[in-house]
Amino acid sequence: MSGGSFFQRDRNWHPAAYTPGYKTSVTRSPQKAPISLDNTVSEMTGPVFGHALIGETDNDLLRNFAHGGEPIGQRIIVHGRVLDETGRGVPGALLEFWQANAGGRYRHKKETYLAPLDPNFGGCGRTLTDADGSYRLRTIKPGAYPWPNGVNDWRPAHIHFSVFGHGFAQRLITQMYFEGDPLIWRCPIVATIPDRAAVERLIAPLDMNNAVPMDSRAYRFDIVLRGRRSTLFENRTEGN
Amino acid sequence: MVQSLPYLKESPSQTAGPYVHIGCTPNYSGIEGVYTEDLGARMVDAETQGERIRIVGRVFDGVGTALKDALVEIWQADARGLYPGPSETRGTADPHFSGFGRSPGDMTTGEFVFETIKPGPVPFKDGRPQAPHVTVWIVARGINLGLHTRMYFGDEEAANAVDPILARIEHRSRVQTLIAPRTLEDGVPVYRFDIRLQGEDETIFFDI
């Protein structure tokens, strides 16, 4: 868990701040270059969350908001591992996830899409990774939905993931997409990622070996956080 | 050909989108009964050591409009300059302090609020003290990769003047974008830290 600074973030792999195809980014993108800051203790540490935080149904979106019934939609399991760039599992990582319901509607005051809310589906959950970095959640497959960007832009089905590693420098929010969805390659938000190979890192394959027969299909989604240097050969250890 | 290095690539970021509050502060967004309380809503309790302060601010876009769908997170040391958690090797932080705060911008005004304590100084890599500061992370619709910045304290002029991070900022006129002025409101010290995503007074963001 202890260690040196985190590997430099590859800003050509991540989306740029200014991506005019995604219109909202135009006035929300910093125009000056970010100032490089080799990690200090303020970035190498980060909040750590314990199992006391997590309720029994927090990772089960079929149950955690149900009001006497089952959510409508295709039952799925999403599972995988949180790894760092060295390939090691990240234990105790807090994952938070949120999504639209099966009709593509979010449970949010400002959401205006005409698809109906599902009284048994809230659309949020969370879990902590195990000792080897693995996690699992159960939900319904979210629907695609239209959004005001181009006049006829639709988001592919997706689940948002927020991830805490061990250092605040690793903080990451991303989205998981579903194998085979033709909307992925038409989406202006997906297209903010410049490299097709990077987009593919966000597309979860169908994983029938983890399906529950006659119940739920499964998708596999691994998440990679920044790796960190060893301090073995560092001369100065203060602050590490 | 050479041997290949075994590293993986970090998962690419995607925007938190307009509904980040569903996942990160569901009670605030009206989804009640799933979690007892929203994560990061309480940083202190009655026994937390240190000076009680409030950090407030808004996030402005390039047109000068306050964002109403941002999520702001902070991470800071306790009053003695120790970070909570197992990766702190210099001692054990105040058990009554979480160090982590998360605030949704108010849906009408966009204002974020943290009730916290003033942090102590923490060391730079070479052992020199850094001026007291709070690490800040901002996500919202239209922000493709979460933005890291720092808030320093306006009443720490002497410490700010020798802070090793602030000292290396070439454009001196931009340093003030990181320094929050202190005022008193109803007896509570309030630091106002407005964040400007674009424009002449663009906040300094860090590639950390």
Encoded tokens for A122: 């809230």
Catalytic residue of the set A22, A135, A145, A177 = A145
Residues in CB range of A125: below 8 A, 6 or more apart: A58, A59, A60, A61, A64, A96, A97, A98, A137, A139, B34
Q: How far apart are CA A8 and CA A4, in angstroms?
A: 12
Does B85 fall in a domain?
A: yes
pLDDT for position A239: 42
pLDDT at A240 over 60: no
Paired tokens of B89: 């090797």
Which amino acid would we find at residue B135? T
Q: Which residue has the tokens 């890192």?
A: A201
**SS3 category, B81:** coil
Sign of the CA dihedral with A23 first, then A28, A30, and A31 last = positive
- What pLDDT, on a 0 to 100 scale, did the predictor assign at position B87? 85
Coil/strand/helix, residue A50: coil
A108 has a pLDDT exceeding 70: yes
In whole angstroms, give the CA distance from residue B9 to residue B145: 16
Number of domains in chain B: 1
Catalytic residue among A105, A155, A166, A228: A155
A and B: number of Cβ contacts within 8 A: 284
Under-70 pLDDT residues of chain B: none
Asked if A124 and B23 come within 8 Å (Cβ–Cβ), the reply is yes
Q: Which of A35, A85, A201 sits opposite B12 (nearest CB)?
A: A201
Q: Is the dihedral of CA B150, B208, A160, A211 positive or negative?
A: negative
Portion of chain A with pLDDT greater than 70, in percent: 95
**From A1, A49, A227, residue closest to B7, measured CB to CB:** A227
Contacts of B122 in chain A (CB under 8 A): 40-42, 239
Average pLDDT over residues A195-211: 98
Nearest by Cα to A123 from A90, A95, A100, A155: A100
Q: What is the largest CA-CA distance in chain A?
A: 61
pLDDT at A25 over 50: yes
- Domain with residue B92: its CATH number is 2.60.130.10
Confidence of residue A231 (pLDDT cuts 50, 70, 90): confident
A14 vs A16: CA distance, rounded Å = 6
Which of the four pLDDT bands, split at 50, 70 and 90, describes residue A233?
Answer: low
Question: Within 13 A of A165's CA, how many CA atoms are on the CB side?
Answer: 29
**What are A119-141's pLDDT values in tens digits?**
999 999 999 999 999 999 999 99
Residue B81 contacts A, CB cutoff 8 Å: no
Least confident of A20-24, A102-106, A230-234, B15-19: A230-234
The amino acid sitting at B107 is M
CB contact under 8 A, B17 and A160: yes
Describe the strand order of the beta sheet including A158-164 as a list of residue ranges. Answer: A124-128, A94-98, A158-164, A172-178, A203-204
Residue B15 lies in a domain: no
- How do residues A160-192 score in pLDDT, each as one tens digit? 999 999 999 999 999 999 999 999 999 999 999
Task: Give the separation between CA A84 and CA B9, rounded to whole angstroms.
Answer: 9
The DSSP 8-state label assigned to residue B193 in this structure reads -
Chain A contact present for B193, CB below 8 A: no
Chain-centre distance for alpha carbon B21: 17
Domain assignment of residue B9, yes or no: no
Other beta carbons less than 10 A from residue A172's beta carbon: 25
pLDDT band at A38, cuts 50/70/90?
confident
Q: Is B202 a domain residue?
A: no
Q: How far is the alpha carbon of B206 from chain A, nearest alpha carbon, in Å?
A: 5
pLDDT beyond 60 at A235: no
> Which residue out of A37, A45, A63 would a mutagenesis test of the B interface target, given it has the greatest number of B Cβ atoms within 10 Å?
A45
Active site residue A158: yes
Mark out the alpha helices in chain B (DSSP H runs).
Answer: 20-24, 157-161, 164-167
Check pLDDT > 70 for residue A1. Answer: no
Identify whether B36 is part of a domain: yes
Chain B residues with CB-CB distance to A56 below 8 A: none
- Which residues of chain B make contact with A199, given a CB cutoff of 8 A? 12
CATH numbers and ranges of domains, chain A = 23-30+41-225 (2.60.130.10)
Q: Which of A14, A160, A171, A186 is catalytic?
A: A160
* pLDDT the model gives residue A238: 45
Q: Which domain holds residue B128?
A: 20-196
For residue B118, tell me if it sits in a domain. Answer: yes
Pair A165, A226: CB distance under 8 Å: yes
In a domain, B170, yes or no: yes
Mean pLDDT of A41-65: 96
Q: What number of other Cβ atoms are within 10 A of residue A143's Cβ?
A: 18
B10 belongs to a structural domain: no
d(CA A120, CA B181): 46
